[in-house]
Amino acid sequence: MADKISPANPAPLGLMGFGMTTVLLNIHNAGFFPDVGSMILGMGIFFGGISQMIAGVLEYKKGNTFGMTAFTSYGAFWLTLVAMLVIPKLGLAVAPPREFVGCYLFMWGLFTGLMFIGTLKSNRVLQFIFASLTVLFMLLAVEHWAPEHFAHIIGRIAGFEGIVCGASAIYLAMAEIINEVHEKELLPIGEYSKKATQTASAAGAEFA
């Protein structure tokens, strides 16, 4: 009887698509390059968008509700962001007002903050990714709501914060790949320990 082949882990693909696209966009937001350009649009469609969608479908097949929801949602974020930039250029719809874009970003920040709660029993790096992404969306929302003379400063702060957020996703993607290949933890991710949590809870109960 042939050995059963275990399915591959789709998370590194989704994390890398999210991380690389986020870093590149926020290099622009931080003020290093003035224009978004075709590179970011292409990354947003194919790597940040479609690759994350694929990862989400594969997480569904694994029975991972959190991974499915996260990857398909953020894949949709990148696709809608590109659509929001491109569709007005094609004359198919008007561009949304600046303040309305702030509402769009705020809703993504709210969604990410709620998803962060779902990471509290996961590894520390994943927790950091969702916490920093929540902050990033909120900073970008405030940038679009703030007066013009403050918006530029907030946008640059968001850019640097976004670079850190994206880099943390790249780190986790590579940690999952490298640790799996070498069958040991070469890149630490701060794994959640249920046993440690239960021990701490028991210790707390003794002093209650």
Residue 37, pLDDT above cutoff 60:
yes
Q: What is the DSSP string of 9-21?
A: --HHHHHHHHHHH
Assigned domain for 97 exists = yes
The pLDDT of 87-105, averaged and rounded, is: 95
Assigned domain for 196 exists = no
Residue 115, pLDDT above cutoff 70:
yes
194 band by pLDDT with thresholds 50, 70 and 90:
low
Count of CB atoms situated within 10 Å of the CB of 144: 20
CA 75 – CA 52 distance, rounded (Å) = 5
**What is the domain extent for residue 16?**
11-191
Residue 129 makes CB contacts below 8 A (sequence gap 6+) with 15, 119, 165, 168, 169, 172
Q: What is the pLDDT of residue 191?
A: 85
Q: How many domains does the chain have?
A: 1
Residue 170 makes CB contacts below 8 A (sequence gap 6+) with 15, 16, 19, 20, 23
Assigned domain for 3 exists = no
Contact of 99 with 145, CB cutoff 8 Å: yes
What token pair was written down for 171?
A: 């780190």
Assigned domain for 185 exists = yes
SS3 8: coil
What token pair was written down for 134?
A: 């929540």
Higher pLDDT, 19 or 149: 19
Residue 45 makes CB contacts below 8 A (sequence gap 6+) with 78, 79, 82
Assigned domain for 202 exists = no
202 band by pLDDT with thresholds 50, 70 and 90:
very low
Contact of 130 with 111, CB cutoff 8 Å: no
What token pair was written down for 89?
A: 């250029």
The pLDDT of 123-132, averaged and rounded, is: 97
Over the stretch 79-94, which tens digit does the pLDDT of each residue have?
999 999 999 999 999 9
What token pair was written down for 207?
A: 């002093």
Could you tell me where the DSSP H helices lie in the chain?
11-29, 37-45, 52-62, 65-86, 98-117, 124-145, 148-182, 194-206
Assigned domain for 46 exists = yes
Could you tell me where the DSSP H helices lie in 87-147?
98-117, 124-145
Assigned domain for 21 exists = yes
Over the stretch 57-81, which tens digit does the pLDDT of each residue have?
999 999 999 999 999 999 999 999 9
Assigned domain for 6 exists = no
C-alpha triplet 141, 145, 150: angle, nearest 5°: 100
CA 176 to chain CA mean position, Å: 16
